Amino acid sequence: MSPWLPILMAVPVVGAIVVALLPKGSDKLAKQVTLLVSLLTLVLTGVMAAGFKPNGDRFQFVAEYNWIPSFGVKFGVGVDGVALVLIALSVVLVPIVVLASWHDADGVKTADGTLITPKRSVKTYFSLLLVLETMMIGVFAATDIFLFYVFFEAMLIPMYFMIGSYGGAQRSYAAVKFLLYSLFGGMLMLVAVIGLYFVAGKQTFMFPELVGAIQDPVTQKWLFAGFFIAFAIKAPLWPVHTWLPDAAAQAPAGAAVLLVGVLDKVGTFGMLRFCLELFPDAAKAFTMPIVVLSVISIIYGAIVAIGQTDMKRLIAYTSISHFGFIVLGVFAMSGVAQSGAALYMVNHGFATGALFLAAGFLIARRGSPFIADYGGVQKVAPLLAGFFLVAGLAGLSLPGLSSFVSEFMVMIGTYSSAAHGSGALTVAAIISAVAVILAAVYILWMIQRTMNGPTAEPVKAFKDLNAREVWVLAPLVALIIGFGFYPKPLLDVINPSVQQTLTNVDVPTSTIAEKGTGQ
């Protein structure tokens, strides 16, 4: 029993209660407390992660307490490599988002002083953020499937209020759409969770004990479908992706980062952890349809992104394309592709996070999300333009930046995967490679229209990034470049865990990536 994970989960929620109980008018204090709590969580996670042994047990820092004996539910937590890096991603993003959202609830003003969004409760926003942090840690750390489900569904509520109360003009539509899509998927998953419990007949929801418990292939398929639909909505995969552009475009930039950067990863994480390992036969049987869906997502997301006029919607569509890559990697059934997919989850979080935040700073200055309202920002705000460029280039997976490594691993792993001997996966890899070109179009064209060219009249009044905003973007860009050149620390943690997954799915492990690639 290790107390690490329960402590990690307790710190933010205690912070949230403290923030919520602060007296009226202590907005500034609320922000400072939130930042402090999120930094404390980050430090604690760092200390814990330092003790992680990549080649030790699969699940480490394990803790189990009885929770609901009548249902056979335990409060079981523990992390493997993939879960650990995703928790790290979450706790790194939260303080950055806190800093980035510093003035979001104060009421957003444009450069000329018109109020776009009215002032709202600062304390509520930041305590929701901290509650969300607890749930993000919990959902990745849960080894009890019931506990995972609880966090999976419950984390919708703080995000729902963050979008609905603090978002843009269409916020209530977007928030409801987000919630209903996710709830629908979640309800189907609930049936599958209950079904898993009874069919396995082990009187437990503990994941390690349920691996391999379902033998009947037909039952596997039904249960797989229940889990997969929920995760595909969350990830989101074409054709159940339509909530994401609305939600991401209407959410405040900080919430959008957590939504796309972390919450959606729960979907791909769930596919890797639960869909594959609990229902290996079904996963293999459904590989081809899922690969087709993910290739459609890759291409469709990229093409639709090109046509967007709203920056946040554009970034949301690029994410749909990237999630296609992650799902492709997960189901390519090869070690390289799966390690790449897991790595992609982290890199995408940093890269898209940086892009959303940079776009958010841009939008806060002008009060408009539309690309056409900008032009020539580079001349007046070179720092902002510079960060925007790096984040954009990470989004199109430029070599030397972190997302290149993961995208390359997914494609090469898929290309050479022997899982479907017919070469179908090779074809999928070749088609998805087209997205690399499309990515260059959507990113560079957006940068060209906003950053370059003649300076638009309202843009001339722009101030460059202030110290707070630099502190928001600099760590992300440092991580993007750092992991671009040296992804080994992440891969060392991810690989053994992916290896374990493939062993449980019964795929020959000779295809596992040996060392970090892509330098």
Partner 1 sequence: MNPAIEAPTIEYGTLAPLLVIFGAACIGVLVEAFAPRYLRKSIQVPLTLLSLAGAFALVLVQVLRGQVSTTASAMGAIAVDGPSLFIWGVILILSFVCVLLINDEGHFVASAASVPGSADEEEAERHDNGTGHTEVYPLVLFAVGGMLLFPAAHDLLMMFVALEVMSLPLYLLCGLARRRRLLSQEASMKYFLLGAFSSAFFLYGTAMVYGFAGTVSLPGINQAMAAGNTLDPLLLIGFALLGVGLLFKIGAAPFQAWKPDVYQGAPTPITALMASGTLVAAVGAVLRVFWVGLGNLDWEWRPVIWGVAALTMIVGSILAITQTEIKRMLAYSSIAHTGFLLVGVMATYGSAQQNAESLKAILFYLAIYGIATVGAFAVLTLVRDPGGEAGHLSRWAGLGKRAPVLSGVFAFFLLAFAGIPLTSGFMGKYAIFSAALNSGTQPGDSIGGWMAGLVVVGVVASAVAAFFYVRVIVLMFFSEPAADGPAIAAPSMGTVAVIAVSLLVTVGVGLYPESVLGVANDAASSLFIR
Backbone angles phi, psi at 504, to 5 degrees: -65, -30
Nearer to partner 1, 218 or 467 (CB): 218
Instruction: Give the 3-state secondary structure of residue 370.
Output: strand
Measured from the CB of residue 69, what is the shortest distance to partner 1 in angstroms?
A: 6
Three-class HEC string of 302-326: HHHHHCCCEHHHHHHHHHHHHHHHH
Nearer to partner 1, 72 or 453 (CB): 72
Measured from the CB of residue 186, what is the shortest distance to partner 1 in angstroms?
A: 8
The tokens of 303 are what? Answer: 């093409």
The type of residue at 489 is P
Residues found near partner 1 in the complex (CB under 8 A): 67-71, 121, 149-151, 153-154, 156-157, 160-161, 164-165, 171-172, 175-176, 179-180, 183-184, 187-188, 190-191, 194-195, 197-199
Which helix (H) or strand (E) segment holds residue 75: the answer is strand 73-79
Measured from the CB of residue 269, what is the shortest distance to partner 1 in angstroms?
A: 18
Measured from the CB of residue 157, what is the shortest distance to partner 1 in angstroms?
A: 6
Among candidate residues 227, 314, 209, the one with its CA nearest the CA of residue 268: 227
Three-class HEC string of 180-229: HHHHHHHHHHHHHHHHHHHHHCCCCCEHHHHCCCCCCHHHHHHHHHHHHH
Nearer to partner 1, 166 or 238 (CB): 166
The tokens of 251 are what? Answer: 């959410």
Nearer to partner 1, 181 or 350 (CB): 181
Nearer to partner 1, 165 or 347 (CB): 165
Measured from the CB of residue 130, what is the shortest distance to partner 1 in angstroms?
A: 15
The tokens of 55 are what? Answer: 């080649």
Measured from the CB of residue 179, what is the shortest distance to partner 1 in angstroms?
A: 6
Which helix (H) or strand (E) segment holds residue 162: the answer is helix 156-166
Beta bridge partners of 64: 76
Measured from the CB of residue 229, what is the shortest distance to partner 1 in angstroms?
A: 12
Nearer to partner 1, 156 or 359 (CB): 156
Nearer to partner 1, 206 or 328 (CB): 206
Note whether 398 and 390 are within 8 A (CB).
no
Nearer to partner 1, 176 or 431 (CB): 176
Measured from the CB of residue 73, what is the shortest distance to partner 1 in angstroms?
A: 9
Measured from the CB of residue 70, what is the shortest distance to partner 1 in angstroms?
A: 4
Q: What share of the chain is helix, strand, coil (3-state, %, to 5)?
A: 75, 5, 20
Nearer to partner 1, 176 or 383 (CB): 176
Note whether 336 and 512 are within 8 A (CB).
yes
Nearer to partner 1, 149 or 317 (CB): 149
A 10 A CB-CB count for 384 gives 23
Note whether 60 and 91 are within 8 A (CB).
no
Measured from the CB of residue 18, what is the shortest distance to partner 1 in angstroms?
A: 18
Backbone angles phi, psi at 333, to 5 degrees: 60, 35
The tokens of 270 are what? Answer: 């769930």
In the numeric block, the tokens 């205690």 are attached to 14
The tokens of 236 are what? Answer: 């989101």
Measured from the CB of residue 226, what is the shortest distance to partner 1 in angstroms?
A: 9
Backbone angles phi, psi at 213, to 5 degrees: -80, -25
Name the burial class of residue 1, with classes exposed (0-12), middle (13-18) and buried (19+) by CB atoms within 10 angstroms of its CB. exposed
In the numeric block, the tokens 């992804």 are attached to 487
Nearer to partner 1, 252 or 353 (CB): 252
Q: What is the DSSP pairing of strand 73-79 with strand 108-109?
A: unpaired
